[in-house]
Amino acid sequence: MRSRRFWAGLVVVAVLGMFVFQPWAGADDVFGVVTNVLRVVQAQYWREVDAATLIRGALKGIMEALDDPYAQYLPPQNYDGFIQHTTGAYVGIGVGLEPHPNGVLITRVFRNSPAAKAGLKAGDIILFVEDTDTRHIGLSKLTELVRGKEGTAVSLSFYRGTVDTLQTIEVTRGAVVAPSAEWKIIEGNIGYIDIEIFGESLKDDIEEALKDLAGTKGLILDLRGCPGGLLDSLMDIAPFFVKEGPLMVEVSQGGQHAGIYSPGPGPDKPLVVLVNNGTASAAELLLGGIQDSKSGVVIGTRTFGKGVAQSVFSLGKELGGYKFTVVGYLTPLGREIDGIGLDPDVWVDDAGPEYLLPLAELISPFTTLKYGMTSEEVRKLQAALRVLGFFEGSTTKYFGPVTRRALIKFQHSEGLNADGVATFEVIEKINAKLIRAPILRDAQLAAAVEKILEMAR
């Protein structure tokens, strides 16, 4: 034991004895200190390390040192993704995609996109991208294949309606700006606009939406789940929704306050805004302007509470970029947003799905039911088959010829082995037919429709 302690002591002394102390830059020369550290580490660190690695580490440390939850160093890949998400701009073909049993379904084609110019339409199903079968890859991999360098071509094999219409086309990749909003006319001739993000395309989207919805009784502006986005986009659309006058108050370095104004004219018909705890940033600033100017009625729950804006700085392809908070905002009447959120004028919780009872009692799948048996599970089987239209007569607990004939009919209809025996697989199929999908009720949207109709009277 004494021997082990002796050797451990030698190791510590040896390590301590190897320190070499260097003269240091003065504490008042902050930038000189950082520069000196980078140079010393690169020159004397016992392993090779490149300058870019050290600078990335320094940038990360600087951002983490700020008392700012939104300050962040963004490595190249993260920076590109952040810019694409915030602006909606990228290089690709310009489609929305969803998985489909037969490939990948095009859910929408973006306005003026390469896909639109090539003749692709919502509802088309893509089977192959180049020589890759889309049925065997995820959406993230598919996105990688479809996107690429501007001006290059990608081969798509797709069909429209039926597989016999399968064709292959080449689409030239180009600059794409994803839609920032969707709109439609809903019950009662009411216009509905859903802003997904305050991206580069938002002004064009809103202008087109307002033209399409010009003949409606009122507008519902859905900001639920909207994370905000570009301040410029907020300024672009504010005149459509906020009357002429104050839009927000900017609080800059040193606590300086400056008013920011909407030129108006604001909405020309009843306006209801939907919000929840996912409504943040630019969406909250628009909301504050609408509320304080009484340009519309707000329905939903309290918003997220992000009343600050960040500037994003690029460092080039090798280093990426960084962002930090540069300014805060209040509503026109001086209400705080950051860390608090804004309350709606009318509080309506978003009701969860309504779960319905099954059409009949579910059968235990862990007991095989067959001819001649008597049990409570047989009664449940009969009741289930009756609800599904295969069994006639009163239910009993006895598995007789009537029950067997009914079960065989069900097995035939489902492509199962029609032997009249209720195995685990058969019972699971029956139970699946009995379960009813939950009813999804949008209580907030229903309240907004009711409010618009009331305001339009």
Q: Residue 13: exposed, middle, or buried by beta-carbon count in 10 A (0-12, 13-18, 19+)?
A: exposed
Which is catalytic among the residues 203, 243, 306, 451? 306
Nearest-angstrom CA–CA distance, 343 and 334: 14
Structure tokens at 248: 């927000």
Residue type, 332: P
Instruction: Give the Cα separation of 210 and 185 in Å (integer).
Output: 11
Is the distance from CB of 296 to CB of 344 less than 8 angstroms? no
Tell me how far apart the alpha carbons of residues 174 and 153 are, in angstroms, rounded to a whole number: 9
DSSP letter string, 175-214? EEE--SEEEEEETTTEEEEEE--B-TTHHHHHHHHHHHTT
* Four-residue CA torsion sign, 239, 242, 246, 250: negative
253 DSSP assignment? T
Return the structure tokens found at 399: 């598995």
**SS3 of 389, please?**
coil
Q: Which secondary structure element, helix H or strand E, spans residue 449, and what is its range? A: helix 443-456
Q: Which of 292, 293, 295, 451 is catalytic?
A: 292
Q: Which amino acid is at 69?
A: P
> Among 281, 323, 429, 451, which one carries the catalytic annotation?
281
C-beta neighbour count of 66 within 10 angstroms: 12
SS3 392: coil
In whole angstroms, give the CA distance from residue 376 to residue 370: 13
CA 434/CA 330 separation, integer angstroms: 53
Token pair 């409570």 in the structure block, residue: 376
Cα–Cα distance between 379 and 234 in angstroms, integer? 63
Measure the CA–CA gap between 317 and 424, rounded to whole angstroms.
58
CB contact at 8 A, 383 and 395? yes
At position 367, the amino acid (one-letter code) is T
Helix, strand or coil, per DSSP, at residue 144: helix
**Active site (annotated) includes residue 155:** no
Burial of 30 (0-12, 13-18, 19+ CB in 10 A): exposed
Taking the C-alpha atoms of residue 429 and residue 416, their distance in angstroms, rounded to an integer, is: 10
In Å, what is the CA distance from 4 to each residue of 9, 18, 28?
Answer: 9, 22, 46
Is 292 designated active site?
yes
Write out the catalytic residue numbers: 281, 292, 306
